[in-house]
Amino acid sequence: MIELVRAGRTAEELSRELESSAAQAIGNWVTEAERREGRRSDGLTTGDRGELKRPRRDVQILRQEKEIP
Protein backbone atom coordinates (compact mmCIF):
# COMPACT_ATOMS: atom_id res chain seq x y z
CA MET A 1 0.00 0.00 0.00
CA ILE A 2 2.70 2.43 1.00
CA GLU A 3 4.55 1.95 -2.28
CA LEU A 4 1.33 2.48 -4.24
CA VAL A 5 0.74 5.80 -2.48
CA ARG A 6 4.34 6.82 -3.08
CA ALA A 7 3.88 5.95 -6.75
CA GLY A 8 1.11 8.52 -6.98
CA ARG A 9 -2.07 6.72 -6.01
CA THR A 10 -4.25 8.26 -3.31
CA ALA A 11 -5.42 6.48 -0.20
CA GLU A 12 -9.02 7.22 -1.21
CA GLU A 13 -8.51 5.69 -4.65
CA LEU A 14 -6.99 2.53 -3.20
CA SER A 15 -9.76 2.33 -0.63
CA ARG A 16 -12.41 2.39 -3.39
CA GLU A 17 -10.57 -0.29 -5.36
CA LEU A 18 -10.40 -2.53 -2.31
CA GLU A 19 -14.07 -1.83 -1.58
CA SER A 20 -13.08 -0.68 1.84
CA SER A 21 -13.47 2.43 3.93
CA ALA A 22 -9.83 2.21 4.92
CA ALA A 23 -8.59 5.47 3.37
CA GLN A 24 -7.70 6.86 6.81
CA ALA A 25 -5.89 3.65 7.76
CA ILE A 26 -3.88 3.71 4.53
CA GLY A 27 -2.93 7.32 5.19
CA ASN A 28 -1.87 6.37 8.72
CA TRP A 29 0.32 3.55 7.38
CA VAL A 30 2.06 5.93 5.00
CA THR A 31 2.61 8.49 7.77
CA GLU A 32 3.98 5.80 10.11
CA ALA A 33 6.37 4.52 7.44
CA GLU A 34 7.61 8.05 6.74
CA ARG A 35 8.28 8.63 10.43
CA ARG A 36 10.20 5.37 10.77
CA GLU A 37 12.29 6.26 7.72
CA GLY A 38 13.05 9.73 9.03
CA ARG A 39 11.09 11.50 6.28
CA ARG A 40 8.77 13.06 8.87
CA SER A 41 9.37 14.38 12.36
CA ASP A 42 5.89 15.55 13.26
CA GLY A 43 5.07 12.81 15.74
CA LEU A 44 6.06 9.52 17.31
CA THR A 45 6.24 6.15 15.63
CA THR A 46 4.28 3.26 17.07
CA GLY A 47 7.53 1.91 18.51
CA ASP A 48 8.31 5.23 20.18
CA ARG A 49 4.87 5.31 21.78
CA GLY A 50 5.44 1.79 23.08
CA GLU A 51 8.73 2.86 24.61
CA LEU A 52 6.95 5.66 26.48
CA LYS A 53 4.28 3.31 27.82
CA ARG A 54 6.78 0.93 29.40
CA PRO A 55 8.03 3.33 32.13
CA ARG A 56 4.45 4.33 32.90
CA ARG A 57 3.51 0.69 33.40
CA ASP A 58 6.55 0.19 35.63
CA VAL A 59 5.53 3.15 37.80
CA GLN A 60 1.99 1.83 38.02
CA ILE A 61 3.24 -1.61 39.10
CA LEU A 62 5.53 -0.07 41.74
CA ARG A 63 2.65 1.98 43.12
CA GLN A 64 0.47 -1.11 43.33
CA GLU A 65 3.23 -3.10 45.03
CA LYS A 66 3.72 -0.28 47.53
CA GLU A 67 0.07 -0.51 48.52
CA ILE A 68 0.23 -4.27 49.23
CA PRO A 69 0.85 -4.85 52.96
Domain total in the chain: 1
Enclosing domain of residue 31: 2-67
Q: If you average pLDDT over every residue of the chain, what do you get?
A: 81
Q: Is the Cα torsion angle 25, 27, 31, 37 positive or negative in sign?
A: positive
Condensed to tens digits (0 to 9), the pLDDT of residues 11-24 reads 888 888 876 667 77
Query: Please, where are the H alpha helices in 1-69?
Result: 2-6, 11-17, 23-36, 46-67
Q: What is the pLDDT of residue 62?
A: 86
